[in-house]
Amino acid sequence: MASILENLDSLTPSEIKGKQEESLEWFRQNLRKTRLSPRQLAREGEPLKTPLPLIGSMIMFNYDAKWQDVLPYWDKFPVVIPFDFSKGGFIGLNLHYIAPRYRTMLLMGLLDYAYDVDGGEDDDTRLRLTYQLLQSTAELRWYKPCVKRYLTSHIKGTIRTIPYDNWDVIAMLPTQRFEGANANTVYADSRRKVI
């Protein structure tokens, strides 16, 4: 996956848009699997959807923010890498809060902390992350606007774990659904937080 991300890092904005369209097409082709029941998924050899995320994995879910009336904006369909549990939920990096170019840069840096749990297939690869690590590593500076806390009681439906081999595809998908602002406003705010 690192070589794919390295290639993405050198793309022009119009080429990134093309990659987003390719990613969206992949997502549409694979959307059928998200509609299957856990029993059907188990029969197809896919992992079951879990009620709590695995720390260091990549997940997708539908979210209804508790404080949506006071938040300037929030993402209804986050793509998150959880790195800690908190009371009633978890804390993670929502990649949607930064523009695709910066998502690529962040993921490239995060791959240095990837490990395969059983040493076999990549399907159980996770990241070893802590808040202290994120704060102290300059190449991960794009994490700042991505840190969000999620309450499991406000997750609608089930959490979908993304296989490691698909992280780069999912990261490029334009699936963010911000309430209260458009994506360009969110990206501009995020840039200001980092620079």
User: Tens digit of pLDDT for each residue in 105-117?
Assistant: 999 999 999 988 7
| Range 23-28 average pLDDT | 63
pLDDT digit string (tens) for 46-83?
Answer: 444 446 789 999 999 999 999 999 999 999 999 999 99
DSSP E strand stretches across 35-113:
58-63, 74-75, 79-86, 89-94
Model confidence at 120, pLDDT cuts 50, 70, 90, reads low
For residue 67, give the 3-state DSSP assignment: coil
| Range 164-174 average pLDDT | 84
How high is the pLDDT of residue 117? 77
Higher-confidence residue: 39 or 105?
A: 105
pLDDT at 44 over 80: no
Closest CA to 59 of 131, 150, 183: 150
Model confidence at 118, pLDDT cuts 50, 70, 90, reads confident
How high is the pLDDT of residue 29? 63
Residue 55 sits at φ, ψ, to 5 deg, of -60, 130
Could you tell me the maximum CA-CA distance found in the chain, to the nearest angstrom?
A: 48
| Range 162-174 average pLDDT | 84
Mean pLDDT score of the chain, rounded to an integer?
Answer: 82
